Amino acid sequence: MDGSLTLKRMTKTRKVQVTLEEAQYETLARIAQRDGKKMAAVVRESIERYCLAPESKQAKREALEVLLSLAAPAPEDYRDWEREYAALKTEEKRSRPGKGAED
């Protein structure tokens, strides 16, 4: 062990009961033994990899498609856009109560 500390995030868990066919159970047990893990860990990792991760990827893909479909004009000169953006940020700071341009 290298002396480093690994912290795991404490999350609320829920129990699920699954009935497997004998062959499924035996295969799962072999995988768990081979990988030095508990069967429950193998099941959780499988759910994450094959069910939840694709859902997350799909949601990200859809969000990206929405962003790419937005009509936003590209500046002809980046420096013009940068000046406009800086002016808007300065204006925003001045308009906030209790805040000045010096912030």
The pLDDT of 14-36, averaged and rounded, is 96
Cβ 90 vs Cβ 101: under 8 Å: yes
Q: At what angle do helices 39-47 and 22-35 cross, to 10 degrees?
A: 100
Whole-angstrom CA distances from 4 to 7, 37, 62 are 10, 22, 39
- State pTM to two decimals: 0.50
How many CA atoms are closer than 13 Å to the CA of 96, on its beta-carbon side?
11
Whether 103 has a pLDDT exceeding 50, the answer reads no
By percentage, how much of the chain surpasses pLDDT 90?
Answer: 36
How many CA atoms are closer than 13 Å to the CA of 29, on its beta-carbon side?
7
pLDDT digits (tens, 9 = 90+) for 37-68: 999 999 999 999 988 888 888 888 898 888 88
